[in-house]
Chain A
Amino acid sequence: DSGVTQTPKHLITATGQRVTLRCSPRSGDLSVYWYQQSLDQGLQFLIQYYNGEERAKGNILERFSAQQFPDLHSELNLSSLELGDSALYFCASSPLAGAGGDTQYFGPGTRLTVL
């Protein structure tokens, strides 16, 4: 158990819908990262927040957005869902801003299925 929690564990929805994925980092960790892992693409970095501010951005679609709240939990919002958005979404947390050997601890993931 990494100490990172994600809800829900599974989510099934329809195309065009909007969903929110939630992540609680390990106690004391200031950074939260979101990743998408689909069968044909491996692990893709989406976005990082550090202490409430956006820190780094990867291949995140405009239909997706995220935020980190004052209590450091984070939410990833996915809208206008398409079939191709079906994937495992992982959240990870790290103690600091992510530079150097700031190890990322991954949550169990949310499996999103878009029908």
Chain B
Amino acid sequence: GQNIDQPTEMTATEGAIVQINCTYQTSGFNGLFWYQQHAGEAPTFLSYNVLDGLEEKGRFSSFLSRSKGYSYLLLKELQMKDSASYLCAAVTMGAGKSTFGDGTTLTVKP
């Protein structure tokens, strides 16, 4: 079966760095997505990792370790607008089926 785990909630301070972890157990794993979702809105794409290592995109970076079934999303120089839910999703090889975690609600405080 498919299983995705991420913390339910996190709190951080404006200007700080936060790391949101995601562990997964999936068969036929192909890659891992991170999405940002503000309350009541659609998820928006942040990153996709298929190879091990760190991918950096501005203030956001995402890391993957396939052997450990582990990924994290790193957010730097936090801004108030980064308060949102962050969803990790494991993609099954050869198909579009994505299994989403329940999301981590990040609250950024002044």
Question: A residues engaging B (CB < 8 A)?
Answer: 2, 31, 33, 41-45, 48, 50, 55-56, 58, 88, 90, 94, 97-109
Size band of the B side of the interface? Answer: 20 to 34
Q: Of A31, A33, A41, A106, which one neighbours B42 at CB under 8 angstroms?
A: A106
Point out the residues of chain A lying under 8 angstroms from B24, CB to CB: none
The chain B residues found within 8 Å of chain A, CB to CB, are: 30-31, 33, 40-45, 48, 50, 87, 89, 91-103
Using A101-B50, A103-B48 as known contacts, say yes or no to A45 and B95 having CB atoms under 8 A apart.
no
Q: In the bound complex, do residue A56 and residue B95 qualify as a contact, i.e. CB atoms below 8 Å apart?
A: yes
Chain A CB count within 10 A is highest, among B30, B43, B45, B103, for: B43
Q: How far is the CB of A89 from chain B (nearest CB, A)?
A: 11
| A48 in contact with B97 (CB, 8 Å) | yes
A103 to B98, CA, bound (A): 11
In the complex, chain B residues whose CB is within 8 Å of the CB of A33: 96, 98
> Are the C-beta atoms of B48 and A31 separated by less than 8 Å?
no
Question: Could you list some 23 contacts between A and B, CB below 8 A?
Answer: A2-B42, A42-B87, A42-B100, A42-B101, A43-B87, A44-B100, A48-B95, A50-B96, A55-B95, A56-B95, A56-B96, A56-B97, A88-B40, A97-B96, A98-B95, A99-B91, A99-B93, A99-B96, A101-B48, A102-B96, A103-B33, A104-B45, A108-B42
